[in-house]
Amino acid sequence: MAEDWTLVIHGGAGVIERERMTPERDGAVRRALHEALAAGSAILERGGTSLDAVAAAVRVLEDDPNFNAGRGAVFTAEGANELDAAIMDGRTRAAGAVAGVTATRNPISLARAVMDRSGHVMLIGDGADAFSRSQGLEQAGPEWFATPERREQLERWRAAQQAGLPQSGLAFDPDHKFGTVGAVARDRAGNLAAATSTGGVTGKRWGRVGDAPLIGAGTYADATCAVSATGAGEFYIRMNVAHEICARVRLSGEPVQQAADAVQAETLQLGGSGGVIGLTADGEAAFSFNTPGMYRGVARQGDAAMVAVYGDE
């Protein structure tokens, strides 16, 4: 097996079209994707692990308000930010996840701490926040996560609720974008890892949790395949999308792009739109989305990093 590395990232999928994007937003998103690839690539280039690389890439995107993760996360119906994240080591199938956390600057770092130091796989809510403090992770107040754009989206969602529009049922983003961020990587030793982080969906209630922090639904890695998803979480949970893709690769030898496209098509039949990124142990990468666009990028040893936004790129 070649001793090269690959890093693949996403920053969300949805109705991402040129006519809806300003040049300024387009440029800001592309810069952030390049920065995330650079952060993860630097680790892989010096022989670091895929686990460290995906965490580093995701942290960059969590800190950027253009994405629905960490800073820039969407608001719940009550006007709060509740954050979810997961990370998984394909070599050992160790995993860590958090849901409904409110004060950790980088939720992916908390998911990693859960995996490495808690003896558990998933922590939620107040308990996860308390564990974060006990581990000395950087904390942030509500003002760090909240952005004017996300607050405006919440007000539009509330107006739609009052008007009785269809989106007042399941609380999907009024702009029909799923801004979850994620990364998958293969390191020089051939080990895979996956990481995903999200603020969920605008107007979520009752402690709603989507697919991103659920191992097998939005995040999964084994020795053969790694996947991170972004989409309509309720459907991605029902389809167990990330694991389903990897199972096809591992058990039937399907190319990862073919497996991802097939599972995405089945999920869309249920009503679930979104996207996934995938990577195999031999460095084969896949992008699959059934929406007009997906923020995405890839970097490989010896090649220039590439990013894309729209479906025709």
Residues annotated as part of the active site: 180
In this structure, the number of other CB atoms found within 10 A of the CB of residue 283 comes to: 17
Single-letter residue type at 60: V
Q: Which residues pair with 14 in a beta bridge?
A: 177, 293
CA gap 48, 63 in Å, rounded? 22
* φ, ψ (nearest 5 deg) of residue 104: -90, 125
In contact, 43 and 189? CB cutoff 8 Å: no
* Sign of torsion over alpha carbons 77, 15, 286, 51: negative
Residue 20 CA, chain-centre distance (Å), reads 22
Please name which of 173, 208, 192 lies closest in space to residue 246, comparing C-alpha atoms. Answer: 192
Q: What H or E segment, with its residue span, contains residue 143?
A: helix 142-145
* Sign of torsion over alpha carbons 159, 79, 231, 237: negative
Token pair belonging to 235: 């459907």
